Amino acid sequence: MMTVNTLIYEPFTIDSAISYSKQIGIFEQDDTLVAQEIGDGNLNLVFRIQNQQTNKSIILKQALPYAKVVGSSWPLTLDRARIESEALKRAYELVPEFTPRVYHSDQTLAVTVMDDLSHLQILRKGFIAGQVYPRLARDIGIYLAHTLFYHSDFGMNQQEKKKLTASFINPELCKITEDLVFTDPFFDHDTNNIPAGLKEFVKTTLWDDNTLKREVATLKHIFLTKGETLLHGDLHSGSIFASPVETVVIDPEFAYFGPMGFDIGAFIANILLNYLSQEAHMDDEQARKEYQNYLLSVMIETWNVFVVEFGALWQDHSQDAFMKVDGFLDDVLQRIFADTLGFAGCKMIRRMIGLSGVEDVESIEDIELRLKVKRAAITLGKTLILNRSTLSSMNELKKVVTQ
């Protein structure tokens, strides 16, 4: 039986998760609790624990020492649980309306106990089903502006930021991103997952294009070296819970100090992937066109809200004399936008041929239609990478997507 004082890591079972939640005071000893393991990710165990009398419920998340998708042959540090817990706490201080509250964490057991968000829907599943979220763009735009600004040298004491950076060194999970997003898809690597009908297209479009590889090399170098701010690190539509009136961002276990455009690009990439996949999910052409227009409006509004909110924070909470120089903010936003497009392109390509796909596309039953969507996503991703410095607005991006 696992106890609070146990200093030896072992994976939770349903019974030990229930026992632990009582021992740490989340529930009383005589409460009647039920639990289920609800995790569908590759890196963690996730338990939902509920009091049958009061319906109070929490989520207990425990990191595994390996990637579930591969098994024990791919070991991972348990320190990522500490990083995730600390990232959630920092985000909660800035934007509590968009972040789950952490009630308890234990570094040795790699455990985080937090709000149960099961009254909300995973955004990816909502997008696939054609759901509309009126607050989503505004909420994510604000979330991005505040979390990215206040952890950067623009919004944080620069010496304190340097100290904080040391707490979020996350080499093993960064290595996953470095390999699976920026390297393996652009070479004939054994981690790729490429259908036979797509292999020649991938070879011609990606692997044989030296110009593309040079651009991706630059983007990877930016990811490796530009420690601008504390990132969520994996801000896709599976890391967001939503309803028509609420948006909550979860799972920042990939958090580290990196380039601002990476989080924004990840979100944009997932919107575009769903946009392309709607050809298979929505039969009615008019309804599909309307929903795709909605998705593009989310993309545009998210960026616009980010720009306005980031600009307001810049004006009111500047940490550097140069932030008062006319035009500097515009320069910074232009660079973030270019990075955003490039990172979005890499993310889109990775999801089509890399180790971990996305349900939006992989759930398409018609094989030929699935391949068609994958080709379109790879082509669009490549276009974003190659044209990230010439596209200057989301409206220009919209034209590229819809042409």
pLDDT digits (tens, 9 = 90+) for 353-372: 988 899 999 999 999 999 99
User: What is the model's pLDDT at position 43?
Assistant: 81
Flag whether pLDDT at 76 surpasses 90.
Answer: no
More confident residue, 89 or 72: 89
| pLDDT tens per residue, range 89-98 | 999 999 999 9
Helix (H, G, I), strand (E, B) or coil at 255: coil
User: What is the model's pLDDT at position 4?
Assistant: 54
Other residues' Cβ atoms within 10 Å of the Cβ of residue 398: 15
Contact 132, 118 (CB under 8 A): no
| pLDDT tens per residue, range 377-400 | 999 999 999 999 999 999 999 999
Domains of the chain with bracketed CATH: 14-115 (3.30.200.20), 121-402 (3.90.1200.10)
Q: How far apart are CA 82 and CA 64, in angstroms?
A: 13
| pLDDT tens per residue, range 198-251 | 999 999 999 999 999 999 999 999 999 999 999 999 999 999 999 999 999 999
User: What is the model's pLDDT at position 1?
Assistant: 40
Relative orientation angle of helices 367-386 and 210-225, to the nearest 10 degrees: 70
Q: Mean pLDDT over residues 11-16, rounded?
A: 95
| pLDDT tens per residue, range 127-172 | 999 999 999 999 999 999 999 999 999 999 999 999 999 999 999 9
Element spanning 101, H or E: none
Beta bridge partners of 256: 231
Q: How far apart are CA 306 and CA 230, in angstroms?
A: 16
| pLDDT tens per residue, range 269-309 | 999 999 999 999 999 999 999 999 999 999 999 999 999 99
